[in-house]
Structure 1
Amino acid sequence: MTVSLRDAVETDLKAISALYAREVLDGTATFELEPPSQIEMGRRFATVKGYGLPWIVAEVDGVFAGYAYLGPFRTRAAYRYAAENSIYVAPGMQGQGVGRALLNALIGEARALGLRHVMGVISQSDTSEASLALHRALGFTDAGVWRDAGWKFDRWLDVMVMQLDLSPDAGPPHGDGLDLSGS
């Protein structure tokens, strides 16, 4: 089994939308309750790309296996050196290195963009341990917990905030960071 990564393109939106819809309906990685349309996912894709941020697709032996992207952590200007990661791995592909390959790629992209932090915002449920362990294995540290932050599937869910400091000894930032002027 070989995981290959590439930049996502518009023709990936059907597979991306289907995977995300499955997570909306059956999972807790997102707190959305209704799956967005493929058109809406296209808007989100364009927004991420408009910030100059990566959206990556993983394939295993040529078959769609998941996707990941960076988005602004928050859209206020002072946050322009921080991005939040989102990773979705297709059913049957978990535990095969897809998530690790995607997260490693996002970290590399964040470094190349001159960002200071990558944030992980992960719901805490019975299925989130693998995601928490992956983030910790790649250097993320626990930054806090939002208690009972979301109500989904007739229960309250906590959210763990994790943070990777890409430049812990850095002084003032270099470069302009993300252009968040549209917010």
Structure 2
Amino acid sequence: MIKIYAEEFNLAEGENKRETEHFKGELLLRKGLKKDYGIDYGESNPIPVIKGVHGKPQLKEYPHIFHNISHTAGLAACAIGDAPVGIDVEEIRPFSENIIRKVMSEQEKEQFYKLKGEEQTAFFFKIWTLKESYVKAGGWGITIPLTEFSFELGPDGITCSVPEVEIVQYCLKERYILSLCTFKKTEICFKEIL
């Protein structure tokens, strides 16, 4: 089973955005490990991690427990479970269309250009978070071209051009898109927004 935890937060005046977002994501990992596995690192002890070839963190003492963290403006998310997992969350916001050619396959571009306005923006972030969660699940980072695989968003759900990819996607608070990918058939459970 893979469990997803998420938390909304506000930045205090003078807080470093990147540091706060990272701290909130790590705090979710600490809470999830304690709640789901009885593993308590406390609040100030560093979590012992090792990094894979492309930098994906893994728990040093518990290699059978997989996790991934993502954060964006005002939201942190963490996935913890029994299979390699990638999670990505993004705030829906304006973006430069120049990035489309670097992110979307031809099939995705066809879907994108059939939409207008806010639907296009939401579609872009749905695809972007799916792509990010996919490469994070594999531990590849952005070492593989994002245009070489596709997601199709249809009325019956999301499909991937790569077989045996498990996917979930949520729109949170009508402001964020959260996507999760794994390569193992397992139950995926959104636990809570803390």
| Same-fold call, TM cutoff 0.5 | no
Q: Which has the higher contact order (CA 8 A, sep 6+)?
A: 2
TM-score when normalising by structure 1: 0.28
TM-score (norm 2): 0.27
